[in-house]
Amino acid sequence: MTAPTSENPTVAEATLEQASVPAPTEATHPDAAIPGQDAPVAKPDAPAHEAVASEVEAGEAKPAEEAAVEPSKPAAEEAQSAPEEQPQVAEQPEVAEQPAPTQAPEPVQESKPADEPAEPELPAREAKEEKESAAASDKKSNLSFILNKPNDLSFEERPIPKLKNDHEVLVGINYTGICGSDVHYWLHGAIGHFVVKDPMVLGHESAGTIVEVGSAVKSLKVGDRVALEPGYPCRRCSNCMSGRYNLCPDMAFAATPPYDGTLTGFWAAPADFCYKLPENVSLQEGAMVEPLAVGVHLVKQGGVRPGDSVVIMGAGPVGLLCAAVARAFGASKVVSVDIVTSKLEVAKEIAATHTYVSQRVSPEENAKAIIEQCELGDGADVVIDASGAEPSIQASIHLVKNGGTYVQGGMGKPDITFPIVLACIKEITLKGSFRYSSGDYKLAVQLLGSNLVDVKKFISGVVPFKDAEKAFEKVKEGQVIKMLIAGPNETLE
Ligand SMILES: NC(=O)c1ccc[n+]([C@@H]2O[C@H](COP(=O)([O-])OP(=O)(O)OC[C@H]3O[C@@H](n4cnc5c(N)ncnc54)[C@H](O)[C@@H]3O)[C@@H](O)[C@H]2O)c1
Ligand SMILES: [Zn+2]
Ligand SMILES: [Zn+2]
């Protein structure tokens, strides 16, 4: 089954926030910041990406892998357990700009005049399209990778979905990335109040190829390669109408119960949630657009401008992609902070200008050390948390300059001790960030197309569909940044 979609795809057009995307500034790579490589918490040989915990694709709480810091606690208590609660942000949508997706219309349209009204149901056309669709998907598999219950995965051949209205397209899935949230559902069967009650297809980070277009679709044609935006908002509520559709309370998000995900053969979706990939962007890179869009949204929330100094707490996939986007936005210093040295080595290679291994000292002391070693002067212009770890959130407030901006992206414990007075007297702008919204997917694709962000180095491996579970195991082991699974009809060389 596919995720439900709106029946009203005509709602207002998105105003794409014009995130300026200046040429990247030159990479200063001063080796400023890696003190204490052998700090107790930063085992030098710790596997990259260890302990892939959960993630929050649905506003899920992710267990923070935090360990560093907090002098007041004995070390053994420091590793915090994963809260299972759903962060409230998911339930508390809010208002804003505009709804509806993005996507510059592309001219081409097979066999449909451009000015043709979107009148449905010409029986002849329907018949023709059904035939085309059948031809396109003939003998193809809609094998789906299903989570039955925690630790119970299986494959099942499911019916190829049908277009639900004239504005939809059918996409053959080529590649899907595994997200922390997929792994969390697999292991625990729930994230917060999102509980897998019935078998659910996993996956939501996908790119594919159009095999059928609805009669009203003008922007895409059969054969186009697209990145799939996997959450479909109602398009009618105040959040949607103000452009912050990520806050829609009626969002139907792939692989968030009860909605099936995209680890399947074919996926029906509204055309305006499918973003055509530029020629120079591969389908594998296209599968990286989803997590990249998370990074785009976080960096936009931070209001990062050319010349800014940006500190990013956490060097998992989200933090690394934030670092890459911040560079693309023209930040002159991008500092990645983590407790695992090997992750910071990756960060430095692919995104950050500076790195810092968080120490077992107070958040204030870590902040001071980061400022000194990375020469941040009065503090960072923008700090983004992509760890969810309490000590790193606390350090962030000490780290940000007076009047600076702090963005919360990580979802760890739902409640923490927070230096609220400091935030007050520094007049910090504090923002949340949830998934992605108007313009983010479009910008993510543009960043790839213009080579301002290179996600190839984020892809740790690609496995055939039949080996999906092996790929999940690898992510669980934590040795990888991003694993991709080829679609069931995709042949890997
Ligand atoms: N806001 C959103 O829309 C959104 C979307 C996706 C993921 N997330 C959240 O973002 C976070 C990052 O996701 P990810 O997939 O990269 O997860 P991840 O677990 O791979 O990365 C988290 C990183 O934080 C590091 N870390 C732990 N404690 C730390 C500390 N005290 N200081 C510095 N770093 C520390 C870990 O070592 C790890 O590298 C998670 O909390 C996830 O739930 C949020
Ligand atoms: Zn994801
Ligand atoms: Zn809505």
Q: How far is the CA of 38 from the centre of ligand 2 (A)?
A: 31
Least confident range of 105-119, 229-243, 372-386: 105-119
**Which residues are within 5 Å of ligand 3 (an ion), measured at CB?**
233-234, 237, 240, 248
Would you call the peptide bond into 258 cis, given omega within 30 degrees of 0 as the criterion? yes
Is the CB of residue 315 below 6 angstroms from any atom belonging to ligand 1?
yes
The answer to the question of residue 6 being in a domain is no
CA atoms of 274 and 269, how far apart (whole Å): 7
| Nearest atom of ligand 1 to the alpha carbon of 317 | 16
322: enclosing H helix or E strand:
helix 317-328
Q: Does the beta carbon of 83 lie inside 6 Å of ligand 1?
A: no
Q: What is the mean pLDDT of residues 135-143?
A: 70
| 103 within domain boundaries | no
Nearest-atom number in ligand 1 for the CA of 51 is 19
- Residue 493 inside a domain? The answer is no
Q: Are residues 363 and 230 in the same domain?
A: no
DSSP type of residue 88: G
pLDDT of residue 139: 57
Convert the pLDDT of each residue in 414-429 to its tens digit: 999 999 999 999 999 9
Within this chain, do residues 394 and 334 fall inside the same structural domain, yes or no? yes
Give the residue from 244, 222, 233, 189 showing the smallest Cα distance to 14. Answer: 244
- Average pLDDT for residues 329-333, to the nearest whole number? 98
pLDDT of residue 478: 86
Distance from residue 190's CA to the centre of ligand 2 (Å): 15
Give me the pLDDT at residue 140, please. Answer: 86
Contact partners, residue 325, CB within 8 Å, separation at least 6:
292, 295, 296, 298, 299, 447, 453
Of 415, 432, 449, which residue sits at a domain end? 432
41 lines ligand 1 (CB under 6 A): no
Distance of CA 419 to the CA centre of its chain: 28
Record the tokens describing residue 296, joined without a space. 């785009």
Domain of residue 324, residue span: 31-86+294-432
- Domain stop point among 414, 432, 450: 432
Q: 191 with 46, same domain?
A: no
Say yes or no: CB of residue 48 within 6 Å of ligand 1. no
User: Which phi and psi angles does 351 have, rounded to 5°?
Assistant: -150, -45
Report the separation in Å between the CA atom of 200 and the middle of ligand 1, taken as the mean of its atom positions: 25
Residues with Cβ within 8 Å of residue 204, at least 6 apart in sequence: 57, 176, 179, 181, 182, 230, 231, 253, 254, 255, 256, 261, 262, 290
CB 335 within 8 A of CB 323: no
Q: Are residues 428 and 315 in the same domain?
A: yes
**pLDDT band at 137, cuts 50/70/90?**
low
pLDDT digits (tens, 9 = 90+) for 231-253: 999 999 999 999 999 999 999 99
Indicate if ligand 1 lies below 6 Å from the C-beta of 388.
Answer: yes
- CA 443 to ligand 3 centroid distance, Å: 22
Q: What CATH number does the domain containing 251 carry?
A: 3.90.180.10
Among 1-10, 147-156, 380-389, name the one with the lowest average pLDDT.
Answer: 1-10
Give this prediction's pTM: 0.78
Residues 316 and 274 in one domain: no
Q: What is the DSSP string of 377-394?
A: TT-EEEEEE-S--HHHHH
Cα(27) to centroid(ligand 2), Å: 28
Q: Is the CB of 395 under 6 A from ligand 1?
A: no
Look up residue 115 and give its DSSP letter: T
DSSP E strand boundaries for 300-349: 309-313, 333-338
| Total count of domains within the chain | 2
Decide if 456 contacts 331 (C-beta within 8 A): no
The amino acid sitting at 249 is P
Lowest-pLDDT range, 35-49, 93-107, 477-491?
35-49
CATH code for the domain in which residue 54 is found:
3.40.50.720
Phi first, then psi: what are they for 334, rounded to 5°? -130, 110
Beta bridge partners of 267: 171
DSSP-derived 3-state class of residue 459? strand
Ligand 1 site, residue 33, Cβ cutoff 6 A: no
CA gap 321, 329 in Å, rounded = 12
Q: Residue 57: is its pLDDT beyond 90?
A: no
Both 262 and 283 in one domain: the answer is: yes
In the structure, what pLDDT confidence band is assigned to residue 479 with cuts at 50, 70 and 90?
A: confident
Query: 378 with 335, same domain?
Result: yes
Residue that wins the pLDDT comparison between 353 and 91? 353
- Is 5 among the domain residues? no
